[in-house]
Structure 1
Amino acid sequence: MSLPALASLPATLAPLALRAEQSLQLACAECSAAAAAEFAAWPSARREVLRRVAAASDFVVEQARRDPQMLLGLAACGELERALQAGELRGQLAGALLDCADEDELGRRLRRFRNRQQLRIIWRDISRQADLIETCRDLSDLADACIDLAYHWLYPRHCAQFGTPIGRRSGQAQHMVVLGMGKLGAHELNLSSDIDLIFGYPEGGETEGVKRPLDNQEFFIRLGQRLIKALDAITVDGFVFRTDMRLRPYGSSGSLVFSFNALEQYYQDQGRDWERYAMIKARVVGGDPVAGAQLLEMLRPFVYRRYLDFSAIEALRTMKQLIQQEVRRKGMAENIKLGAGGIREVEFIAQAFQLIHGGRDLSLQQRPLLQVLGTLAGQGYLPVAVVDELRQGYEFLRYTEHALQAIGDRQTQMLPDNDQDRTRVACMLGFDDWPAFHRQLMHWRGRVDWHFRQVIADPDEDGATAADEVVGGEWLPLWGDVQDEAAACRQLAEAGFSDPQSAWQRLAGLRNGNQVRAMQRLGRERLDAFMPRLLAQAVEHDNPDLVLERVLPLIEAVARRSAYLVLLTENPGALQRLLNLCAASPWIAEQITRFPLLLDELLNEGRLFKPPLAPELAAELRERLMRIPEDDLEQQMEALRHFKLAHRLRVAASEIAGSLPLMKVSDYLTWLAEAILDQVLALAWRHTVSKYGVPLRVDGSPCDPDFIIVGYGKVGGIELGHGSDLDLVFIHDGDPQAETNGAKSIDGAQFFNRLGQRIIHLLTTQTNSGQLYEVDMRLRPSGVAGLLVSSLGAFQRYQESEAWTWEHQALVRARVLVGCPRVGKAFEAVRAAVLGRERDLDLLRSEVSEMRAKMRDNLGTRATAAGTAANAFEASVCFDLKQDAGGIVDIEFMVQYAALAWSREYPELLAFTDNIRILEGLERVGLLAAEDARLLREAYKDYRAAAHRQALQKQPGVVRGDQFQEQRRSVLRIWQALGLN
């Protein structure tokens, strides 16, 4: 479009112009008589322009009122009425800095020079003595001069303090390179632009000429900080340019300055499409121009691919979604940069063609947007008529942007909401009133938006209707760090986060963390596609803060294995199940974070929530191991661990979903342990036999394997929990004296000992997938002082003549888990004989009570004397579900006492090892009243259910003292009724 015409000054603005003129006249008079005379001598034409500019711009009036000589000097040298020549502005600033003595004075002179030039530029823009290109060029030249001259003023003084940085390879003095990005890079700064910068330096090394040299990077970081302060700090004189460094590698968390090699490596390995988009406009604006040219040449392959880069189209559509989501933010429709049909959409159209075609068509490798549009028309990428509309729309929008910013030198692209500023904008754009201007503005925005949609329309969309919502698209600006923190927190709060600040910090911590920073480019693109989807699903939960807290560590853990991110992106059901499980249980969240391979389990909902029965478990594990070569122990160990982790997750998921009750949870976890132990024994047997040969029985025949693994405690009682260890005892029935039949023979006792060691090694060794189980062998004969593996005869002799009563109590819950059926039957016979012998009931009651008292003293809650004190039922104290009086162990001890006391008379009490079925047996034979037996069973299940819940929440098995009061009192009553104390 042509330069906007000058409209007549509206009557509503005339008083503003008059007051401004009078205030400037007074300021000149206060300055000096000469200044007053000079102002009075202004020609009528200039005075008319003054009134127009003063009516439009509060900034010009304020600057002229504060420093009349600034305005008078510009008028006297003719700079208000003429364009500056190339290099003239830089020359003026260089002269102003010639005798600058210190950094404070540098800042003052830079700011005063900026204010002077800003006044001149706005004057010429409002008065239409300068067109859009001149205004943008002058502003960009002003930034260039301030950046470069400030740098060159600071550099020698910095060297005097810290030494001269020398390249380790070249041996040459090093200078920093300042890249200007965005509008600065393209010579397109607006009247109140930020400047986006990236700092680099050619090579590593350290400074010379001082006693304590600095690393080159540290030298340039400190120099960069001083440069930013010179430009960005707000003082009584204002600022030079707001300086934004967030476009540098790793954003605000990255180093302030990078070597060229580090920059090249970053963009090669991790640079994302939006960084390509930004780098199109990169230009050297300060420091070493020769080194800067080398840097840009190094980065060119990242920006411009050598082929038609249609792979960028999807990324461009994502950028489009980001833009349109920003529009939907509150108030954004009135933003002429970000809103529909705004400035950014024109820029996007041009840069989309540059990203896709620029690698092969060198004519597209340029920065200024209007020039790129001309090339698009000239090379046939877009019809001439389309380019003409885009150019005219863009120029109208940019003139409007300048008008908005000229009013108060404020960085804004929002249309005004008050009549005075609306009248000002309409007047500056050549319209008689706001409605006329607004109609024209909406015309151009409509045309720009239409072309924008055509250029990057998704072929899968229904015609031109923008069915361009991507899942979670509203979160793209937040994750992309496009929003400032305040806006991000507002969005999080509106979405239901109770602590948006913490949520934002967690997201920023992930985005700027080491794992994400070290990602390859493809992985980062996958992460950027995934995170908005994650946030969109997280806010569907009642407690999105908790979901985010628990899931983000997982995302960080898998960041560099981005195939998992693709899995979750492509399978929204799996993502939903992940969030549901993590919200319900931090234990599950931790497990998946530690072992991300578990994510595969989330793909099949039916399988996830329906764990297999014992025979299916055993068959599945056998089949998995059969696929692994017999000599590949590492793979076998990993397969065992994968299997355990996957099925334990399925059990936990089913428990949380309510499809698996407590008793079945323990059944499944116990079956899982048995299936694993069966295969571990087979692997250990095969390995030990291959090394030493087969051991022999007393009759000389080979063992096969004549070995059993006996489970005690929870695994023996079929009551395993999610984090339970295994209490095991190993028993064999071979000849301990006979030699094995291998080339490297050893006696039977050594063989079975080494077999036991091998089993423990397979179970407890830490691999990438953790360990299978923690193993406790202290219940073997003579405890830790005893042999690791006992012969069946030695076990029997120990139990009959040496074992303590508490060891017989433990034997009540002992059963054969895996191994030789013949030896297993023999063990059951020994167990039945030991438990079923005649006992002195008074002595038994005394010994059981004493052992229980010791446990309470050592393991119970001290504040309540293990639940026996008067305050034990108060909410202010704790109740240990297992150890305190009336808890789990009391029920277990009663069951064990009953089995030891009465199994001689009622051997059926030994048929089972789990407490529930023993209690049912006691009720059946009349040793416990039906109501008491029921109370104990229900209390036991209630306690264990609570303990399971605590475990899934990663909490100890402790609850408030006012919980389970009825159960505890009932258990204690029955305890006393049995004569225990």
Structure 2
Amino acid sequence: MRLPLPSDLPAALQPLVARNRQFLREALAAHADLDPAVLSDAHWAQFDQVAAASEFVLEQVQREPGMLLELVARGELAQGYAPGQLRSHIKAAADAAQSEDELARNLRRARNRQQVRIIWRDLSRQADLGETCRDLSDLADASIDEAYQWLYPRHCQQFGTPIGSRSGQPQHMVVLGMGKLGAVELNLSSDIDLIFAFPEGGETEGVKRALDNQAFFTRLGQRLIKALDPVTVDGFVFRVDMRLRPYGSAGALVLSFNALEQYYQDQGRDWERYAMIKARVVAGDQQAGAQLQDMLRPFVYRRYLDFSAIEALRTMKQLIQQEVRRKGMADNIKLGAGGIREVEFIAQAFQLIHGGRDLSLQQRPLLNVLATLEGQGYLPPAVVSELRDGYRFLRYTEHAIQAIADRQTQMLPDAELDRARIAYMLGFADWDAFHAQLMHWRGRVDWHFRQVIADPDDEEGEGELVVGGEWSPLWEQAQDEEAASRQLEEAGFKQAGEALRRLSVLRTSPSLRSMQRLGRERLDAFIPRLLAQTVEHQDPDLVLERVLPLVEAVARRSAYLVLLSENPGALRRLLTLCAASPWIAEQIARFPLLLDELLNEGRLFSPPLAPELASELRERLTRIPEDDLEQQMEALRHFKLAHSLRVAASEISGNLPLMKVSDYLTWLAEAILDQVLALAWRHTVARHGQPKRSDGSLCAPSFIIVGYGKVGGIELGHGSDLDLVFIHDGDANAETDGAKPIDGAQFFTRLGQRIIHLLTTQTNSGQLYDVDMRLRPSGASGLLVSSLGAFERYQQQEAWTWEHQALVRARVLVGCPQVGAAFERVRAAVLGKPRELGKPRELDTLRAQVSEMRAKMRASLGSKATVAGTADNAFEPGLPFDIKQDAGGIVDIEFMVQYAALAWSHEHPALLRWTDNIRILEELEQAGLMPAADAVLLREVYKTFRSASHRQALQKQAGVIDAGQFVDERRQVRRIWSELGL
């Protein structure tokens, strides 16, 4: 198809003719050395046609009218160039440069001159589509190569000559032109897609400080781009796009041949195969470039019939369709339905499927490929004829759009003047006539496309939406940073630049760089889905920040990516939990096995009760051989991680109130301690035999684990440690009955050590709990395990008041029921009686001791800025309030409860029935020891403070909030503290 000459100028363009002629005359008159007589009537008529259509040509000839006269005088507007003629012009411009700035200036001016010539011949129909595309591609080839040839020797002079470590020969860069440049099909205003490579590693020679070849060519590539890409007062040479290189804009600018081959072999994706079809050496070392293309050919063309290419292209097209719909680009003649891209996809589908076996398909220019498809019988002649004519019409339209202002766009214009220009350039009387013909060809192209590529089950031809497809171009860097930022901002990101940076960091992370192709494809499918769901959240910036470390952690185990891609509900729950809690996000990132818990929504948000917890853990451990301690430890950790996540998820979702959260976390700890004790007992007995009681009977096990603090008070939080005391009731001197007997004291010490080892050892799944044993008799200097008798003597005779306060919250967690009952009797006797047996505690002394201990804690642990909440500025917004340690906080309430239990439990034993503060407060109210209003207030404030503390923990923040919060509650707590005389 060759379009007719433009028809007579339409009325809408006629006012431009007089204006344009006047502009040119004025420009010529300003240069006395120019002779306007060079322009014949025919030239003026052509000028009217061209300048009325192209603002770019008008601007150039106004700016430099001598250029137009020179083109006319040399006959360059009247006939095409001979082979090599265009390059000679560019070479002359480059050779005349004495500096890089002058090189850039000369190349831009030479480019503008050639653009005027090419557009003039195109619009006056002296050149057909093939000549126009060939001239534009030759212009790019010459500009890139001549700039490179000018820069290379000067770069070597500065940094040395790069020498290959294997060959010992000087190295040159290879520049691959991709896309339309590679296929010699460049547009009037195309970007040029390039990939830079060099043959082999090594170092430069001839200078004092050698550079490795990678650094040498990287710097050279940067200088080459600078010569071509930036817009100056003279315009630009070509906009350079390097995003098709491995890893996109985050990858190395230049790679060695081996690195390129390795990348495409291990990680190359379908769209990169598609792009590499058109790759051509456009500059640099042509001989080395031919070797590189031979190396990469197996990646592009498979030796078998590769029908998987159809599905890959179909998916790519669906993604493009989604992008078109999202951006309202139906009028895009490249990407829209029936556009240029669909013709390219048809041709390249056959190339990818059959090209490995049919070498005739291994070529770049699309029209040549269509001819081969017809000649080899892949497509009927009538189909090829329509595709060829439709493609040419679309390309002529694309050139017309871009000729107006030298802008890279394929969108049909809205402005009436530009519409009139396009209709005129395409040879139509008006826009309606042109548009009708355009839609005819788009309809035919789309019909053929659907016959070849579209899903045969898709009757509407629209294609099932690719989930998250609108985000694929952003992730794969198929759009520039400005467009990507705009898309993120429109979707709700407040810090689009930071979001792009985070994605770039992920894209270039070592774990992703070393991924195999299958894993990379799974990641490419997952990230758009992730972004699509992320933007549904109120704060997508926060969600992305928290979830990307998890993605990086699991990327090498891409089955997890498949899990989340194939289970959108699981992905949705993951993002919800990460949005709510960085603690959860970090847990899942550290232990990706937790992702399995997201699959079952009902199970995730419904943690089991205590008996079910214990039963489930026992069942898990029974499946593991008794002698496989490593698996047993992993199973315990998996269990703890999974159920901790379920509790946190239930708390965040509102399914569990605060008190229930602590209950579940405490039950979980007890179930684990029960099995840990059993494992430790079995292991220690297997080595030494069973210990004995004082009556000679065997212990089974006559051992208990007592919990203090939060675990004792049934108030565990997320990440809480365990305050434990170990007590036995065996004979410390009697030997065990095993092959390697030891005395009872040694046995129980080793049993305790084994328990701590099982709890605290770090494995791949972390540790079970941090354990604090400092509340045992005599603290860190005391025995690890105490006998029940020694424990009782210590508590009655040596323990400090603060140790009795701690005993208020102590209870048996697991172990021998008989020893547990004996411990409870000891506890009741110690807390309910004074040191001098039979007399009640001296309240003044008790108050003084409790107050003194509390003052010490405030001084060492409270907020310094408010003197632990006691200064006049304690309620001033902007200052800190430590929820636990400052005056009016959690510890004040705990100390009041402990004081009450110590002061009055000898008369009211019910105060010792419980170890948790809430129920002790209820007992104080029931006994009339505290006004009901105060008891209720303390319970509610205590729950409020603990709830706030839980929220801080889930946000991975210290338990410190603004002092302007909870002012009334803190004042009331301090009032009651004062009224108790503390």
Change (3 A) 1:614 1:45: same
For residue 939 of structure 1, what is the aligned residue in structure 2?
A: 941
Deviation at 1:226, TM superposition (A): 1.3
Deviation at 1:15, TM superposition (A): 4.5
Deviation at 1:807, TM superposition (A): 0.4
For residue 929 of structure 1, what is the aligned residue in structure 2?
A: 931
For residue 956 of structure 2, what is the aligned residue in structure 1?
A: 954
Deviation at 1:12, TM superposition (A): 4.2
- Choose from 708, 714, 723 the match for 1:712: 708
Output the CA distance in 2 between the equivalents of 1:334 and 1:597: 47
Q: 1:328 aligned to 2:330?
A: no
For residue 635 of structure 1, what is the aligned residue in structure 2?
A: 631
Q: 1:507 aligned to 2:503?
A: yes
- Choose from 149, 153, 156 the match for 2:153: 156
Change (3 A) 1:41 1:606: closer
Cα deviation 1:629-678 (Å, max 9, x = unaligned): 33333222221111111101111111122221211111110010011111
For residue 83 of structure 2, what is the aligned residue in structure 1?
A: 86
Q: 1:431 aligned to 2:428?
A: yes
Cα deviation 1:208-266 (Å, max 9, x = unaligned): 11111100000001111111112223333322111111111111111110011111111
1:598 alignment partner, SS class: helix
Cα deviation 1:176-207 (Å, max 9, x = unaligned): 11000000000000111111100011111111
Deviation at 1:781, TM superposition (A): 0.9
Output the CA distance in 1 between the equivalents of 2:137 and 2:730: 91
Contact persistence 2:454–2:463 (CA under 8 A): no
Deviation at 1:596, TM superposition (A): 1.6
Deviation at 1:530, TM superposition (A): 1.9
Contact persistence 1:400–1:425 (CA under 8 A): yes
Q: Which amino acid aligns with 2:354?
A: H
- Choose from 888, 900, 903 the match for 2:905: 903
Q: 1:610 aligned to 2:612?
A: no
Deviation at 1:95, TM superposition (A): 4.1
Greater Cα shift, 18-27 or 165-174:
18-27
For residue 228 of structure 1, what is the aligned residue in structure 2?
A: 225
Contact persistence 1:568–1:574 (CA under 8 A): yes
- Choose from 378, 402, 405 the match for 1:405: 402
Output the CA distance in 2 between the equivalents of 1:54 and 1:867: 80
For residue 114 of structure 1, what is the aligned residue in structure 2?
A: 111
Deviation at 1:503, TM superposition (A): 3.3
Q: 1:485 aligned to 2:481?
A: yes
For residue 844 of structure 2, what is the aligned residue in structure 1?
A: 842
Contact persistence 2:319–2:466 (CA under 8 A): no
Contact persistence 1:132–1:399 (CA under 8 A): yes
1:533 alignment partner, SS class: helix
1:332 alignment partner, SS class: coil
For residue 202 of structure 2, what is the aligned residue in structure 1?
A: 205
1:145 alignment partner, SS class: helix
1:91-490 paired onto structure 2 within 5 Å? 91-98=88-95, 100-461=97-458, 463-490=459-486
For residue 17 of structure 1, what is the aligned residue in structure 2?
A: 17
Greater Cα shift, 90-99 or 677-686:
90-99
For residue 71 of structure 1, what is the aligned residue in structure 2?
A: 68
Deviation at 1:322, TM superposition (A): 2.0
Output the CA distance in 2 between the equivalents of 1:544 and 1:619: 40
- Choose from 877, 880, 896 the match for 2:879: 877
Deviation at 1:889, TM superposition (A): 1.5
Contact persistence 1:454–1:464 (CA under 8 A): no
Change (3 A) 1:946 1:12: closer
Output the CA distance in 2 between the equivalents of 1:348 and 1:180: 19
For residue 812 of structure 2, what is the aligned residue in structure 1?
A: 816
- Choose from 641, 644, 648 the match for 2:640: 644
- Choose from 798, 801, 813 the match for 1:802: 798
Deviation at 1:442, TM superposition (A): 1.8
Change (3 A) 1:592 1:3: same
Output the CA distance in 1 between the equivalents of 2:43 and 2:935: 105
Deviation at 1:700, TM superposition (A): 4.1
Contact persistence 1:325–1:476 (CA under 8 A): no
Contact persistence 2:250–2:507 (CA under 8 A): no
For residue 524 of structure 2, what is the aligned residue in structure 1?
A: 528
Deviation at 1:28, TM superposition (A): 4.1
Output the CA distance in 1 between the equivalents of 2:843 and 2:122: 107
For residue 48 of structure 2, what is the aligned residue in structure 1?
A: 51
Output the CA distance in 2 between the equivalents of 1:901 and 1:98: 100
Deviation at 1:512, TM superposition (A): 4.0
For residue 596 of structure 2, what is the aligned residue in structure 1?
A: 600
- Choose from 730, 733, 758 the match for 1:734: 730
Deviation at 1:369, TM superposition (A): 1.0
Deviation at 1:56, TM superposition (A): 2.3
Output the CA distance in 2 between the equivalents of 1:698 and 1:104: 98
1:958-969 paired onto structure 2 within 5 Å? 958-969=960-971
Output the CA distance in 2 between the equivalents of 1:336 and 1:547: 37
Contact persistence 1:325–1:477 (CA under 8 A): no
Greater Cα shift, 893-902 or 732-741:
732-741
Q: Which amino acid aligns with 1:922?
A: L
For residue 776 of structure 1, what is the aligned residue in structure 2?
A: 772
Q: Which amino acid aligns with 1:339?
A: G
Change (3 A) 1:189 1:646: same
Change (3 A) 1:613 1:374: same
Contact persistence 2:248–2:476 (CA under 8 A): no
Cα deviation 1:512-544 (Å, max 9, x = unaligned): 444433332222222222222222222332333
Q: Which amino acid aligns with 1:606?
A: G
Q: TM-score scaled to structure 2, two decimals?
A: 0.95
For residue 2 of structure 2, what is the aligned residue in structure 1?
A: 2
Q: 1:674 aligned to 2:676?
A: no
For residue 538 of structure 2, what is the aligned residue in structure 1?
A: 542
Q: Which amino acid aligns with 1:885?
A: A
Change (3 A) 1:850 1:125: same
Output the CA distance in 2 between the equivalents of 1:794 and 1:964: 44
Greater Cα shift, 79-88 or 20-29:
20-29
Change (3 A) 1:109 1:942: closer
Q: TM-score scaled to structure 1, two decimals?
A: 0.95
| Structure 1 residues not aligned, in runs of 5+ | none
Contact persistence 1:453–1:464 (CA under 8 A): no
Q: Which amino acid aligns with 1:64?
A: V
1:213 alignment partner, SS class: coil
Change (3 A) 1:63 1:776: same
Q: 1:974 aligned to 2:976?
A: yes
Change (3 A) 1:970 1:420: closer
Greater Cα shift, 689-698 or 181-190:
689-698
Change (3 A) 1:497 1:66: closer
Deviation at 1:30, TM superposition (A): 4.1
Deviation at 1:125, TM superposition (A): 0.7
2:726 alignment partner, SS class: strand
2:786 alignment partner, SS class: strand
Q: Which amino acid aligns with 1:17?
A: V
Q: Which amino acid aligns with 2:752?
A: G
Contact persistence 1:670–1:715 (CA under 8 A): yes
Change (3 A) 1:772 1:69: same
Q: Which amino acid aligns with 2:4?
A: P
2:330 alignment partner, SS class: helix
Greater Cα shift, 802-811 or 474-483:
474-483
Q: Which amino acid aligns with 1:87?
A: G
Output the CA distance in 1 between the equivalents of 2:444 and 2:253: 41
Contact persistence 2:164–2:203 (CA under 8 A): yes
Output the CA distance in 1 between the equivalents of 2:526 and 2:567: 11
Output the CA distance in 2 between the equivalents of 1:528 and 1:811: 57
Contact persistence 2:5–2:124 (CA under 8 A): no
Output the CA distance in 2 between the equivalents of 1:233 and 1:483: 18
Cα deviation 1:412-466 (Å, max 9, x = unaligned): 22223333322222121111222211211122122222333333222443x1342
Output the CA distance in 2 between the equivalents of 1:232 and 1:543: 37
Q: 1:825 aligned to 2:821?
A: yes
Deviation at 1:41, TM superposition (A): 4.1
Change (3 A) 1:235 1:487: closer
